[in-house]
Chains A and B, each alone.
Chain A
Amino acid sequence: QKEVEQDPGPLSVPEGAIVSLNCTYSNSAFQYFMWYRQYSRKGPELLMYTYSSGNKEDGRFTAQVDKSSKYISLFIRDSQPSDSATYLCAMTALQGGSEKLVFGKGTKLTVNP
């Protein structure tokens, strides 16, 4: 089982839809959970990060972490064509004195006008 699993999609939604992106993980040592957004032919950029379980909201974006289920989500409300990108989850754990950062494979999202 891979440490971080993410459905690659692609996911296509109409403008204004609510989008749900998800990752599951197997390593219970993961403590910090992040979402990166990558536009085509660009580098990933940090969208949001959370620590431990709970919700975090930033504008139209909500990140949710459920450590008991080893499941994280990113919700996008009122999705816009400019949200079309690949979304990568990432999580970190301290192991052997150094930090381990693992990315999911990314979900490609297209928001159609």
Chain B
Amino acid sequence: DTAVSQTPKYLVTQMGNDKSIKCEQNLGHDTMYWYKQDSKKFLKIMFSYNNKELIINETVPNRFSPKSPDKAHLNLHINSLELGDSAVYFCASGDRASILGANVLTFGAGSRLTVL
């Protein structure tokens, strides 16, 4: 059973289209995230939700809209896609390591978005 699953794995679309990526976690974590990884492998946080509430909203164009219907799901909708949106988008869920308190993330396999 995949802990953090996201779909689709690959997405190729034209500029100007609207697309969605879905994410589900079965780990019972309260916190979920969307990260963007560009061609240079830099992993940058976009959004974070804790128990369906938005807690981190980095400087991301408002064409990107996250939605969390429940704490096990966090979807990402992107309007009016641009060439620069091409990247791998990772969903993650977080849990505090029981002793040390570090926020340990479990990542999905990624959704590779290519905008033509």
Contacts and interface: CB of A to CB of B under 8 A. Distances in A.
A88 interface: yes
A46 B105 contact: yes
Interface of B: 4, 40-45, 55-56, 90, 92, 97, 100-110
Contact of B103 (A50, A86, A101): A101
A43 interface: yes
Q: In the complex, which range does the number of interface residues on chain A fall in? A: 20 to 34
- Which residue, A8, A42, A92, A101, has most C-beta atoms of chain B within 10 A? A101
A103 interface: yes
A61 interface: no
Nearest to B35: A103
Nearest to B56: A98
A42 B110 contact: yes
A92 B33 CA distance: 15
Nearest to A46: B104
Given A86-B41, A105-B40, A106-B41, A43 B102 contact: no
24 contacts: A8-B40, A34-B104, A41-B110, A42-B110, A43-B4, A43-B92, A43-B107, A43-B110, A44-B43, A44-B107, A49-B100, A49-B102, A49-B104, A51-B100, A51-B102, A88-B43, A92-B103, A98-B55, A103-B43, A103-B44, A105-B40, A106-B41, A106-B42, A108-B41
A101 B35 CA distance: 11
A92 B103 CA distance: 8
Interface string A21-33: 0000000000010
Contacts of A49: 97, 100, 102, 104
A7 interface: no
Given A43-B4, A103-B42, 5 more contacts: A8-B41, A41-B109, A44-B107, A49-B104, A98-B55
